Amino acid sequence: MKIHEYQAKELFRKYGVPVPEGKVAFSKDEAQIVADGLGGYPVVVKAQIHAGGRGKGGGVKLAASREETATLANQILGMTLVTHQTGPAGKEVKKILVEAGQKIARELYLSILVDRQTAKIVIMASQEGGMDIEEVAARTPEKIIKVYVDPLCGIQAYHIGDLTFGLEIPAEARKPFAGMIRALYTLFVANDCSLVEINPLILTVDNMVLALDAKVDIDSNAMFRHKDLLEYRDLDEEDPQEVEASKYNLNYINLDGNVGNIVNGAGLAMATMDIIKNAGAKPANFMDVGGGATAEMVENALRIILMDQKVKAILINIFGGILRCDVFAEGIVQAAKKTGINIPVVVRMEGTNVETGKKILAESGLNLISAVDLKDAATKVAAAI
């Protein structure tokens, strides 16, 4: 689960990670009130959307006065921010963070994440703060410090030492820096984070360490023990069809092609998208109805895909294991009757009770195109657009 920068900074404050003073605002008047409370100018006005690259896209600006704060707030609120992470359509800005400006001496990079290969928690840092870390890693990998923490033992003093000396933290700032790293590690573990990233982490001219930015992702699988964090979910940042699908435990991702598809199982769903592309069409979505799908789930899956105007044909690919083909076929028939499908639908079914499933579809009176195997299915759906 992604959260906003202002929410991440709220978490930072709670765990004692120093951040600039500031608050979220939803209008220009609120922005001015927040700025008034910050004790002077300049202040920073930052667009709050779930995507990186906001600065480059024009979503982060410095205001030198009360008036300029209002002007910039007006400019940024309601703008459609396009960054390398939003896609070409961009995202509408509905809130801004107004923060006290800082006197920056150095910009550093710091992140904490799970390393899949070693099964450790890795802390990554670099003196090249404020830059795209992927670029730094590609161009100058020696400038990235990695510290691997055993999750059973937790963070040790030598880990912090590696970071402190690797980043050349000045003597006056070492104690607060160590406190900050410990606090971030505690926050990461206590909230089941999958990512904590600060870019940049700054040293001010008077040797303070501050998280100027904050990005926190929470492991969605761990939400059952973080009910308090659920309030951070922002449905405005999510695709409405994806929100609808999540209500029915459907794994759905909206894409920009024209062939809708419904599949059971994530791996097979990905492979089905790929085979659609191989056949010369483009997948409109990823939809995994799961191994234990019910007729009702299938019905909702079809309804959600039909909400997408781009979809010109649908490919249904089911390999019945736990999910029986007859149950699935009934779901399709129910859904088709309720929604009134008016685009071509190609069905390919295999596995448990496939004969009964095929019979149900054949006797339904629905205009379905049946396919003998995967290749046949992809070719037929591409031809149907």
Partner 1 sequence: MSIFVNKNTRLLVQGITGREGQFHTRQCVEYGTNVVAGVTPGKGGQKMDEIPVFDTVKSAVQSTGANASLIFVPPPFGADAIMEAADAGVDLIVAITEGIPVLDMLRVKNFLATKKCRLIGPNCPGIITPGECKIGIMPGKIHMAGGPVGVVSRSGTLTYEVVDQLTKQGLGQTTCIGIGGDPVNGTNFIDVLKAFEDDPDTKGVVMVGEIGGNAEEDAADFIKKYMTKPVVGFIAGLTAPPGRRMGHAGAIISGSSGTGQAKIEAMKRNGIHVCENLGEIGDISKSVFK
The catalytic residues are 109, 197
234 binds partner 1 (CB under 8 A): no
Task: Find the binding residues for partner 1 in span 28-47 (CB under 8 A).
Answer: none
Under DSSP, is residue 267 helix (H, G, I), strand (E, B) or coil? helix
Q: How far apart are CA 13 and CA 49, in angstroms?
A: 20
Q: Which is nearer to partner 1, 152 or 171 (CB)?
A: 152
Q: Which is nearer to partner 1, 65 or 118 (CB)?
A: 118
Residue 228 backbone dihedrals phi, psi, to 5 degrees: -65, -30
Q: Which is nearer to partner 1, 97 or 112 (CB)?
A: 112
303 binds partner 1 (CB under 8 A): no
Smallest distance, Å, CB 113 to partner 1? 9
Q: How far apart are CA 220 and CA 198, in angstroms?
A: 21
Smallest distance, Å, CB 84 to partner 1? 10
Q: How far apart are CA 214 and CA 212, in angstroms?
A: 7
Given 253, 295, 383, 384, the residue binding partner 1 (CB under 8 A): 253
Q: Which is nearer to partner 1, 40 or 267 (CB)?
A: 267
**According to the 3-state scheme, what is the secondary structure of 130-141?**
CCCHHHHHHHCH
Task: Find the binding residues for partner 1 in span 257-286 (CB under 8 A).
Answer: 263-278, 282-283, 286
231 class by beta-carbon count within 10 Å (0-12 exposed, 13-18 middle, 19+ buried): exposed
The beta-carbon contacts of 208-212 under 8 Å, at least 24 apart in sequence, are 208/18, 208/173, 208/176, 209/18, 209/169, 209/173, 209/176, 209/177, 209/180, 210/18, 210/19, 210/20, 210/102, 211/9, 211/12, 211/17, 211/18, 211/19, 211/180, 212/20, 212/102, 212/104, 212/107
Helix ranges (H only) for the chain are 5-15, 28-36, 66-76, 133-139, 157-166, 174-190, 240-247, 266-278, 295-306, 325-339, 354-363, 374-384
Show the site string, 166-205: x = touches partner 1 by CB under 8 A, - = not: -----------------------x--x-x-----------
Task: Find the binding residues for partner 1 in span 67-96 (CB under 8 A).
Answer: 85
357 binds partner 1 (CB under 8 A): no
358 binds partner 1 (CB under 8 A): no
Q: How far apart are CA 67 and CA 20, in angstroms?
A: 21
Q: Residue 4 half-sphere exposure, CB side, CA atoms within 13 Å? A: 23
310 binds partner 1 (CB under 8 A): no
DSSP class of 283:
B
136 binds partner 1 (CB under 8 A): no
Smallest distance, Å, CB 189 to partner 1? 7
Q: Which is nearer to partner 1, 78 or 87 (CB)?
A: 87
How many chain residues bind partner 1 (CB under 8 A)? 58
Smallest distance, Å, CB 158 to partner 1? 18
343 binds partner 1 (CB under 8 A): no
Q: How far apart are CA 357 and CA 329, in angstroms?
A: 5
Q: How far apart are CA 360 and CA 325, in angstroms?
A: 10
Task: Find the binding residues for partner 1 in span 95-134 (CB under 8 A).
Answer: 114, 116-117, 119-121, 134
Q: Which is nearer to partner 1, 51 or 169 (CB)?
A: 51
Given 37, 240, 292, 365, the residue binding partner 1 (CB under 8 A): 292
Given 92, 219, 234, 244, the residue binding partner 1 (CB under 8 A): 219
Give me the residues that bind partner 1 (CB under 8 A), please.
Answer: 85, 114, 116-117, 119-121, 134, 138, 150-152, 189, 192, 194, 219-222, 224-225, 251, 253, 255, 263-278, 282-283, 286, 288, 291-292, 319-322, 350-352, 373-376, 378
